Chain A
Amino acid sequence: MHDARSTMRRPIGLRLWLSGGWVTLLVLGAIFAPLIAPHDPLYQDLFAGRMPPVWVDGADPNFLLGTDSLGRDVLSRILYGARLALTVALVAGVLTCLIGATLGLIAGYYRGWVDMVISRLVDIWMAFPPVLFAILLIAVLGTGLTSIIIAIVVIDWTRFARVVRAEAMTQGTMDYVASAQVAGRTRFGTMLTEILPNVLPTILALLTLEMGIAVIVEAILSFVNLSISTDAPTWGGMIAEGRTSVHQAWWVLVFPLITLFLTVLSFSQLGEGLKDYFDPVLR
């Protein structure tokens, strides 16, 4: 019989388009920042300080989103800031994912004492207050890009480990795993060929979520001046500076804030959207 339920199709969601579009735009902007940025992000022009964005009266058309109190172009600084933000997102996200997902997969599928060791480690790890942990780490390692990335990885791998472990455990009880065993596949082989592909959409969703988190953590660290050198354009640094002059020049605070917000939102939406899209089974 023709079952009407099987003809239900899932449209590629609007949110996948929107979030994917924003991230793509940002990536292009970051890569080609030297070509498309209208100004040098570090160039100060004290005579052109606190210029409003173009659509406000008294603006200079050369500075699309205005300038900060030192006369630096906000748009250019956002573009260059994207370079750091995305680098941190990509490197920290992928490393966190690799470490956490691997441990989670092994714990969830092998169970037994391996699971015991990994799970207890995760429990203990998660008992440390994360922000304190990060600040402590940076204090020991010194500021800089590598330190930020290490801090994020060290703190956040547990998130992957927990979620992936739970998912691998559910998949492990499925009969297709038993059937792989009946077919004579080794435990390790089963984990890679049967379990991993089924856990992958979850990992993917977590990865993009983690990238969003990494962007936020980086912003927070720059906000409190624990990121890279103070001159270099970072979103968090811009927000920190903009805060002090928000009554005179709101745009210095608002534009980096909007960018940060959209980026983090897009990353999380992208993950959810991709997860649905790559799932062959309607759930």
Chain B
Amino acid sequence: MSRPASQGRLLPYILISPLVVFIGALSFYPTVLSTVQAFFRVTPLDPPTRFNGLENFRDLFASSAVRTSIANTAAYVVIGVVFSVVLGTAIASALQQHFRFRGVVLALVVLPWALPGVVEAVIWNWMYDPNFGVVNSVLRSLHLIGSYQVFLGLSRWLTVALIELSQIWQITPLMALIILAALQSVPRDFYEAAHVDGANRRQSFRYLTLPLIRPALAVSSVEALVLSLNIFDQVYVLNGNATLGSSLMLQTYIVTFQDLNFGQGYALSLVATVATALLSMTVIALLYRRSQA
């Protein structure tokens, strides 16, 4: 009798073992390897691999291109998280209402999320085009500009904002879906009770909806944070390798695969990983845990 019982205890471990192996091989091992190698000089142009302590980090932070990319990435994160979560909440609130063709609208809203980042960036590149772009055309027909303008590549913060706009367009549907799911789980009785107590729509949203969807807001904020901190496709297509709008991920790619300085590439990846983890934990501490309390 004891044998089947012990096998029963083993079963869950056996069942999850493929996943453990998978995560270990594809996530844990590379993370450990990258972390260790970040403290070594690793480049095929200057073998052999040798320990160099914090030199990779010192060299990286001395580089103006890296510092610019970190500042730009901070801007991408702030703009990306704030706008995608706020817009996602607004879209989710609208989609919670029942109206004709709601299903079609929902499908259309999700569409940008379904497209690959590179494809979207190419579309936005056409839209921003200084010769035939629709953005120029619209602004000119509204008499906001006199002649067609170059939007990308001349002003740093305009370039950063426009690149991030294309990413917001891509990631907002995901935020909307997460928040919509949370909104639909709020019992209608609560709103009726609030209405009976004299709360108007704004007060219901402020004091009822927001606290109840806080966990979803935390999840969507972390999603937006991770996606905007790792922005690459849009930056590469819309801005090329220019430092002006460069991101941390683009700089990691340049250092690793163009300069072939793998040690510095590992170090920059480690910086991105630590930043992602710390910022995600901060968001969760601010939003999620407070809602749990």
A and B: partners?
no
Interface positions of A (Cβ within 8 A of B): none
Interface positions of B (Cβ within 8 A of A): none
